[in-house]
Every structure is written in C-alpha cells, then in structure tokens.
Amino acid sequence: MRAMLIGFALGIMGLQQCAALPGQGQWIVLGASLAAALGAARYAWGRSGSRLMGAALFAAAVIAGYGYAAMRAELRIAEALPSAWELRDLTLSGHVRGLPVQGAGSTRFSFVLDAHDLDDVRRATGIERFPSMVQLSWARAGARDVPLLKPGDRWRLTVRLKRPHGYANFGGYDAEAAWLARGIRATGYVVASAGTRRLPDAAGGGAAIDRLRFALRERVAQTLADAPHRGMVTALAIGAQDMIAEADRVALRRTGTSHLVAVSGLHIGFVAGLCAALAAWVWRRSCGLGAMLARRGAREWPLLVPTPIVAAVAAAASAAGYAALAGFNVPAQRALWMLVVVNAAFLLGRGVAFSLVLAWAAALVLAVDPWAVTAAGFWLSFGAVACIAFAMRGRLRLREQEQGIDDACESARATDPAWPLALARSDRGARASWRRRLATVRRRGGEAARAQWAVTIGLAPLTAFWFSQVSLAGPLANAVAVPWVGVFVVPVILVALALPAPLDALAYELAHTLLVPLMRLLTALAQASWAEVYPPQPSLWALASALAGVALCLMPRGWPLRWAAPLAWLPLAVPPPSGVEQGAFRLTALDVGQGAAIVVETQRRTLLFDAGTGPESTNAGARIVVPYLRADGVARLDALMVSHGDADHAGGVPAVLDSSEVAQVVGALPGRHRVWDKAREARAGHLRCAAGQRWHWDGVDFEVLWPDPGPLPRRSNEQSCVLKISAPGMSALLTGDIGAPTERVLVRRAPEALRADVLLVAHHGSKTSSTEPFLDSVDPRVAVFQVGYRNRFRHPHPGVWSRFQARGIALARTDRDGAVRIASSNGRLMLERYRTSHARYWMGR
C-alpha cells in the first residue's frame, strides 16, 4: 500500500513538470500501459513473484496518478478567456469567495460567477467554457470609495478581464501555477460605472465559513486596532497572513520562523486533542446526564459506543472544522489527513506505520489539489514531518523499551509485599524517583533539540531551492519561538476563538502581549549580519545530493556512511561557476512587466542596468530583481546603472541597494534624485553617467555613448544612459528610453559605434523610437522588447514591430517569452526564452 500511494503521488508530480497535456495518442499509450501493469500484477497474484506484483502495482499507481492529474488539468484548463475578449467590458453576476485583501485605495478578491449568469455569459460571448471564477481588483474612482466587500456578498459588476498571466523569470515565483491551483482562470478589474449593483447574499456552507473567517479577522482588527503584531494574531487564529506587518515578515523570514504563523499540525493537534478529551469526559458521564434528563435508554450510551470511538470521531471532526476555518492550507490539510488516517486505523483495530500515514496524507492532499506540488508549502510541510520522524524513529523504540521496564517495575511493586517495607527503611526509592524524572526531562529536552536539529538541516536544501536563502539564526530562534508559541500563544488564541464578545478581546490582547517579547527577540536576531545567507538556487542534482546528505546525517551513530554527509552537501554549499568564460558575457532581460531590468554578467563581475518598478507600482525591484540576483548567486553588484529617473526604470533601485552590496551606482539623474540619497545611505559609490566613460571587465569592454557631459536634456527619456558592451563574438546596445532626437544625434556622431548584435529596444518599442536610420546603424541580429502584458501604452507599437520583422531580426518580448537570456558560444548567439526552456502546460493557457 505504501508503494502504491507513493507511486500515485509521483504520477501527479510528474504531470506538473510537463510542457503539454497528453494528446489522444498519449492517452491510448497510458491506457495500454495501465492495463499491462494491472495484468502483470494479476499474473503475479498468488505466485512466488511478489516483487513482480509490487513493481507492477507501483507502475499502475504512477500511471493512475499521472492520468488523474491530467484529467483534472484538462477540466480546469478548458475554462479559458479567449484573447479576443480580453479587456472588453463584461457584466457579470456572482459572489465574493474567500477573504478580500484590502490595499491602499483598492481591494482584491475572488469572484465566483452565478451558475445561471454563467450560462447567459457563455451564450452571449460564444465562449464554450467561460471561467467560473476570476480574480478582480476594485479601485477607488475619484471621491467614490470602494465598498466594504465581505465573503458571500453578491454583486452585478462590469469588469474587464485578462487571461491569467504572471511574470516568468529564472528562479522566480510562478503566479500562473498558483492561480490554476486556486481555480482562477482570468484576472481583471471592476469598471466604475452605474451598472454596479448589490444583490442578495449567497448561501451555502462555504460562504458561511468564509463569513465566519471574515468576522473573526475584523474582530481581531477591531480589538487590537493599531497594535504592531495584530496581523500575526490573525494569522495564528484563521490562517490569513495578508495583514502581517512587513517588519514582522522580514523578522520571521530571516530567523526561519515563518512556519509559526501558518495553521499546521501544532494547531490542528491541539484542537483535536482538546475536543477529544472533552468528548470523552462528557460521554463517560452521559449516563448520569441522561438520568437527570429522564431520557429512557440514556444509561446504555457508553456501552453501545465506547468512549475511545467517540473521542476519535470528535478529534477528526474538530480537526476538519478548524482546518476549514484556516482556509485549508497545505500544512492544515496534511495534519488533518494524518489525523484521519490514524483515527481510521484505530477504529478498525489496526496498527499503522508512520511512513504509511505520511504517504496516505500526501496522496490525499494531491488527490484534492494536484497542483499543491508547485508550491513550496507542500514540500516544506511534508519535509519537516518526514525529517522529525526519520530522526526520532530509534529514540521512539528506545522509549517503548524503557516504558516496558518501568511497567515491569510498577508490577513488581504491586505484587511484592516487601516493597513498602523496603521503601520505609530507605529513601533510596524517593531519590530514584527524582532521578527518573530528571532523566525524563533530559530525554525529552534532547528529543526536542534533535527534532529541531533535524528540521533545520532537513529544510535547508529545500529553502535554498525555493527561496535561495538559509537562516543561520533559525535553530536558536526556533528553540525559543516554537515552545513559546505552542505552549502560550496558540492556546490563548484558541480560547479567544471560543469565547463570546467582549471576553474574547481580553484573550486576543493577552496573545498580542505574549507575542511582543518574542518579536523583540526575533527582530534582534534578524538584524544580525549572520542571520541569513543566500546560496544560489541549486540544480536538481545538487538538491538530491544535499537531501541524501541530510538522510546520512540523521542516521544513528555508527552508521557506516554517516561520515560522508558533509561531502554530499558540497554541491549546495559551494557556489557553481558562473558559466561565463573569460572574454564573454551573458545578458538576461528580466520579465518585470512594463519596465526594464537587465543583468549583465562577465566571468567574475555583474552589472545591473535598471531595476524595474518600485512599491508605488508592481514593486518589481523587490519581487523580481532581488530574488533573481539571489537565485543566480549574485552576492555583489559591481555596478548598478540607472538609465534615467522614470519610475519603471529607477523605482526598484532602493530595494536592490537594501538587499545587495553595490560597489558603484551610475546614472543619468538630477543632482537631488532620491537614488543618489539612497546610494549614499548604502555607502555605495555614485557617479553621473556620461558619454566617454569606459571600463574593461574580464576581457569585455563597456562604453557609455550617451548622454553628453554637462547639463542633462530637459526631457527625462532623452537623459537615458546608452551603454555599449563588446566582446569577441557578441556585442549589445542598451538604450533605455531614448527617442528619435537622441537616435539622430548618435547616428550623426558615430554610426559605427552603434553596431551591435543584440539591441535592447528603446522605450519598450514606442513609436517615438527605433527609427530606420538608427536600425541601419545598429544592424542587430537579435532585438529584445521589455514590455508588460496588455500594457495600457500598447507597446510595442505595431509599426515598430513590423519594422523589425521586415529586417529579418530575431525578436523576443518579455510579455510572451518571459525572461530572455542571451550569450555567445563559439561565435554563435544563444537565445533562451524562459517560457520555452521552462515550459509548463498551464503557461499562456
């Protein structure tokens, strides 16, 4: 059974790595393979070929998991918004699902269309499978505020939708996979118009649970008002993490304690245990209660249904209820299914191994949500539990043996008539009792320390792979935070959830008071320079090697190959070479939406040209550029060049300076620009960008062609730095947002200096740039457009795009291709498009 469950889960995981869903021919092959595997298992049944049967059943489970995930994906992918209907006004009726996220002047929420309205929309648009759930943003329109949206509220709204499209970058977050997992098949915004109308509230169990979660969130917000850690109290109560303050997020991330604010096994186990104990207490006394109420037959209740069965059912029911209250996140689902499996085995009178429980939980989680494997939470949750179980398996057996010895001693005390006399003659029995208690305390403390050690080293490779970071402060922070939150904070919050107003306010305030000293400690640890390291994102083989090292390290003492654990960690601990040879460079144009960010790497140095948008927009600097640099192993920027001061180019600079060591900031910016102030604060050198500046890195030449020294041009776009990069076999021209006037000056001044193999197209392909004479001078082989998907400027301009096409230039654009990486090899340009090299079946669907 264990192998079949693992095979089923592996089949589901395998599909999520595919670039396309199975076609008709592949379905035939899958069906035939499944029949062959089942036939082999049937042949081996009752014969001596138990290994053959096990292998055949494992193969059948893998195929079944793959096929099941493919069917689920086909059904969900079928709901799609055609490109022809993007950004067109549509009037939809539906209700709010989940907890709306309130921002500055806007609210983001999931909107489920009414069934009857969905049919009307499909008939009106001709779309066979119109998305049944979309994600909307409702922004303030002038003086008209956004209404307070609550779960279950039904509205008739005029909206404009787009297909689900996220940023696609090397080592980046896959928003499209997350939307697919949630059933979001279109995104858009509410059009402020008179057609917006409130409808009667939605009914149903899901809406009722969402309303309860919303009411609890609002109750915490009302009670704690401006308290600094109220978001953490909300997260611990209902699993909603959107209100956690940014300072708390940073402290939790840097100390490796982010798991504390996720409703998981700690919460589920506490609620289940408490409810089981309460149900058992009530059930045992139900005879007397029934007699008091004069109910005939009440005295037989505990005899008809034994108390342990009632306690097991109560534990499972309460765990399911609390998991629903927490939003059914992956850690809560994992804990719930593990509890259900254990209780089911207990009710059936069968023992069950922990590994089988974990396998059942993984298979059930993936059966409910096949896309859970695309999120880090699945791997971290199951990985932590697996590490603890693996590290403690020998200790648990030893404790069982010691418990058997203690039981034998107790039995001897009860049967030996001389035992009381012996104790009376000497106090050695009392001292022995204290020694046993102290030994128990030491043993449990050692087990807790070993469990924490197992989680720390076990999750390090996974956090390096998913987030390109490892918390060195984690062991110390968790040693304090886990028992503090588990013993004090969580019970108080659970009591608050059970209490009526106004008594619940006292419990919420107490929980916040308990969090204050803990967050002070975590903040102090997070501010240490050694608190966190940022290894580059490991390859799959390096991750596998590190996980093998974890398994060896957790083996008992005396295991033959335990000494080899550090060697298995070397691929993770030692950064890989950049892959760029002497005298060559690699250029990566990141997908930052409507903005610019280009990373240029030589053999030992790195330059960042622009940094995307800031927090006033999509915050691409913090959300895309910084994670990419960490995943790529760039610990230090030798130069950060800011082409000009527009927000889509310079907005992300502060985030880069806050997170990375920067040797020099170069930019064409006015003297009082905030970038210069931030550079001085970060103790980075700063220099005005001016034509004639040259430098040489690792056999690669860099030259600034524009702007001229002296006063900057009046128009911001014409101030843009123009950088020429030259190496044997490849050259590139980075142009910022220059327009036709600057292009004419450069062509007139030195047309031969403009010639380049790769052109980063000026001003995102605007019609005011990329003139014919300029393109004649550059004569590129590859042109890259950094543009946002369905951007409001409609870049690139169709005329400009056609101009490049007519010249036979290889074209790439980040809204269609994701991040674009260009390098040279043996005189040939190597062009890599992220959405092609890392294709998944949901991309662009």
Which tens digits make up the pLDDT trace of 55-105? 999 999 999 999 999 999 999 999 999 999 999 999 999 999 999 998 878
Rounded Cα distance between 361 and 653, Å, is 44
> Are the beta carbons of 587 and 599 closer than 8 angstroms?
yes
For residue 716, with 0-12 CB atoms within 10 Å meaning exposed, 13-18 middle and 19 or more buried, which class applies?
middle
Residue 343 above 70 pLDDT?
yes
What's the CATH class of domain 586-836? alpha beta
pLDDT tens readout for residues 390-437: 887 655 444 444 444 444 444 444 445 554 444 444 455 566 677 777
Q: 3-state class of 141 per DSSP?
A: strand
Residue 290 above 70 pLDDT?
no
Measured between alpha carbons, how far is residue 625 from residues 119, 632, 738 in Å? 42, 11, 23
Bridge-based pairing of strands 586-589 and 598-601 is antiparallel
Q: Please give the backbone phi and psi of residue 43, each rounded to the nearest 5 degrees, phi first.
A: -65, -40
Helix-then-strand count for the chain, H and E: 33, 25
Q: 3-state class of 771 per DSSP?
A: coil
- Find the mean pLDDT for residues 153-168: 95
- Find the mean pLDDT for residues 157-178: 95
Question: Helices 230-238 and 205-224 meet at what angle, rounded to 10?
Answer: 150
Delimit the domains of the chain by residue range: 2-78, 83-203, 540-573, 586-836
Measured between alpha carbons, how far is residue 435 from residues 431, 441, 450 in Å? 6, 10, 22
Token duo for residue 659: 């997170």
Residue 158 above 70 pLDDT?
yes
- Find the mean pLDDT for residues 17-39: 95
Helices assigned H by DSSP within 563-617? 565-573
pLDDT tens readout for residues 667-682: 999 888 999 999 999 9
Percent of the chain with pLDDT over 90: 70
Rounded Cα distance between 593 and 126, Å, is 31
Rounded Cα distance between 225 and 512, Å, is 11
> Are the beta carbons of 530 and 242 closer than 8 angstroms?
no
Tell me, what amino acid is at 411?
S
The whole-chain average pLDDT of the chain stands at 89
Measured between alpha carbons, how far is residue 3 from residues 51, 335, 517, 544 in Å? 12, 21, 46, 20
What's the CATH class of domain 83-203? mainly beta
For residue 203, what are the contacts with CB-CB under 8 A and spacing of at least 6?
152
Q: What is the pLDDT of residue 304?
A: 72
Rounded Cα distance between 824 and 585, Å, is 8
Residue 567 above 80 pLDDT?
yes
Measured between alpha carbons, how far is residue 699 from residues 446, 572, 577, 581, 733 in Å? 56, 29, 17, 9, 17
- Find the mean pLDDT for residues 263-285: 88
825-828 contact pairs (CB < 8 A, 24+): 826/729, 827/729, 828/729
Rounded Cα distance between 610 and 619, Å, is 13
Q: Which pLDDT band holds residue 771 (cuts at 50, 70, 90)? A: very high
Q: Tell me which of 393 and 717 has the higher pLDDT.
A: 717
Measured between alpha carbons, how far is residue 51 from residues 40, 57, 238 in Å? 11, 10, 47
pLDDT tens readout for residues 517-544: 999 999 999 999 899 999 999 988 999 9
Q: What is the pLDDT of residue 341?
A: 93
| Partners of 640 in the β-ladder | 608, 665
Rounded Cα distance between 306 and 312, Å, is 10
- Find the mean pLDDT for residues 154-163: 95
Token duo for residue 559: 């295991």
- Find the mean pLDDT for residues 156-173: 95
Q: What is the pLDDT of residue 336?
A: 93
Q: Which pLDDT band holds residue 572 (cuts at 50, 70, 90)? A: confident
Q: What is the pLDDT of residue 677?
A: 95
Q: Which of 227-231, 233-237, 388-392 has the lowest mean pLDDT?
A: 388-392
Rounded Cα distance between 81 and 100, Å, is 23
Rounded Cα distance between 172 and 175, Å, is 9
- Find the mean pLDDT for residues 773-796: 97
Rounded Cα distance between 314 and 339, Å, is 11
Q: 3-state class of 673 per DSSP?
A: coil
Q: What is the pLDDT of residue 266?
A: 79
Tell me, what amino acid is at 659?
S
Q: Tell me which of 796 and 430 has the higher pLDDT.
A: 796
> Are the beta carbons of 248 and 287 closer than 8 angstroms?
no
> Are the beta carbons of 132 and 126 closer than 8 angstroms?
no
- Find the mean pLDDT for residues 253-263: 90
Residue 210 above 70 pLDDT?
yes
Q: What is the pLDDT of residue 402?
A: 47
Measured between alpha carbons, how far is residue 180 from residues 112, 168, 261, 452 in Å? 14, 15, 25, 34
Rounded Cα distance between 334 and 347, Å, is 20
Rounded Cα distance between 121 and 104, Å, is 32
The residue written with tokens 């006033």 in the block is 616
Token duo for residue 491: 């019970």
Residue 294 above 50 pLDDT?
no
Residue 300 above 80 pLDDT?
no
Percentage helix, strand, coil for the chain under 3-state DSSP, each rounded to 5:
55, 15, 30
Bridge-based pairing of strands 782-785 and 758-760 is parallel
> Are the beta carbons of 799 and 767 closer than 8 angstroms?
yes
For residue 818, what are the contacts with CB-CB under 8 A and spacing of at least 6?
167, 168, 169, 591, 833, 834, 835, 838
Q: Please give the backbone phi and psi of residue 541, each rounded to the nearest 5 degrees, phi first.
A: -70, -35
Q: Which pLDDT band holds residue 128 (cuts at 50, 70, 90)? A: confident
Phi-psi region of 653 (alpha: psi -120 to 50; beta: other; left: phi over 0): alpha
pLDDT tens readout for residues 582-614: 999 999 999 999 999 999 999 999 999 999 999
- State the chain's maximal CA–CA distance in angstroms: 113
- 277-281, 451-455, 599-603: which is most confident: 599-603
Radius of gyration of the chain (CA): 31
